[in-house]
Amino acid sequence: MNPVVETKNLSKYYGNVLGLSDVSVEIHPGVVGLLGPNGAGKSTFLKLITGQLKPSLGQVYVFGQKIWNNPQLFADIGYCPETDAFFEDLSGWQFLTWMLQLHHFSACQAKEKANEILGFLHLAEDKDRLIRSYSRGMRQRLKIAQAIAHDPQLIILDEPLNGLDPLGRRKVIKYIRKMGEEGRTVIVSSHVLPEIEAMTKKIILIHQGKIFASGNIHYIRELIDSHPHIISIKCNQVRDLAAALIKAEEVIKVFFTPDPQEVQIETRQRDVFFDRLQKLILELDLNVEAITSPDDNLQAVFDYLIGEK
């Protein structure tokens, strides 16, 4: 299957300042999280794949076509910019209907779609207020609305959850996941790890204009062989289990926590360890309450990759 977005050796320089360096990625349908700290190059990447910026080097293909100066592609692309900017003299409803009309929808169709999406994002009651009077959260929801109102196949959201209240976040996260499940391509950027984690397991880690890693979070874990994994086991015979595990070659450390029924181990060979653990559970007749991986989250991967751990 052809990728929806493909970049080949993509680089962008702002004068002498590096924005993005030699990025080659393929993005297929589903939700993809673009993760990196502020200034990492996320927005530059998104502006390049939406044809707002011209690549200094390399190529960008969207739906198999070059995106620069190819506006017809935008019939199926929705973009939510990071900047909090609007046509402030319009009401939320006017803004949305005009944005839809710029997608060549008739006035009637635009009004119908605008009402539908404003209702979905809980803006229906305030739709006739001028945008300048909107709260930060309302403005953010309106930005998302204009990106999805025309029912695009490719949705690109730059920090979409900024300024949203917890309820709004949950709703938008749910919607993004639904879009991905429907076979659309959703690219979401964020510097907040739990946000991305809640939306997808497919991530692209970006830092200092370069892609550090991309793929499933577990796949990325496997890439980092030298990075030890911590696994926590809660059971009724923690000391017997610890005694058995300390002899295993793949186990580096064994810790006891304040919880008398918990033992934590550190390993570099996760799969081998889990095979052994299964056998030990049967041999020792353990009553296991929980097996968790406290550092199996994006923060751990990210910190490790950017060298902060």
- Where on the chain is the footprint of another protein (CB under 8 A)? 2, 4, 14, 43, 47, 50-54, 63-65, 69, 71-79, 81-87, 89-90, 94, 98-99, 101-104, 146, 153, 183
| Residue with smaller CB distance to another protein, 123 or 263 | 123
Could you tell me the two tokens for 208?
């200092």
- Least Å distance between CB 223 and another protein? 28
Backbone angles phi, psi at 48, to 5 degrees: -70, -40
Three-state DSSP class for residue 154: strand
Rounded Cα distance between 204 and 302, Å, is 10
**For residue 260, which of 281, 240, 241, 234 has the smallest C-alpha distance?**
234
In order, the DSSP letters of 80-115 are E-SS----TTSBHHHHHHHHHHTTT--HHHHHHHHH
| Residue with smaller CB distance to another protein, 39 or 194 | 39
| Residue with smaller CB distance to another protein, 104 or 170 | 104
- Least Å distance between CB 99 and another protein? 6
- Least Å distance between CB 138 and another protein? 17
| Residue with smaller CB distance to another protein, 21 or 267 | 21
| Residue with smaller CB distance to another protein, 48 or 277 | 48
- Least Å distance between CB 67 and another protein? 10
Three-state DSSP class for residue 267: strand
- Least Å distance between CB 46 and another protein? 10
- Least Å distance between CB 190 and another protein? 14
Rounded Cα distance between 50 and 71, Å, is 10
Looking only at the bridges linking them, the beta strands covering 30-35 and 185-190 are parallel
What is the residue whose two structure tokens read 């199996």?
A: 296
Rounded Cα distance between 111 and 232, Å, is 54
| Residue with smaller CB distance to another protein, 5 or 300 | 5
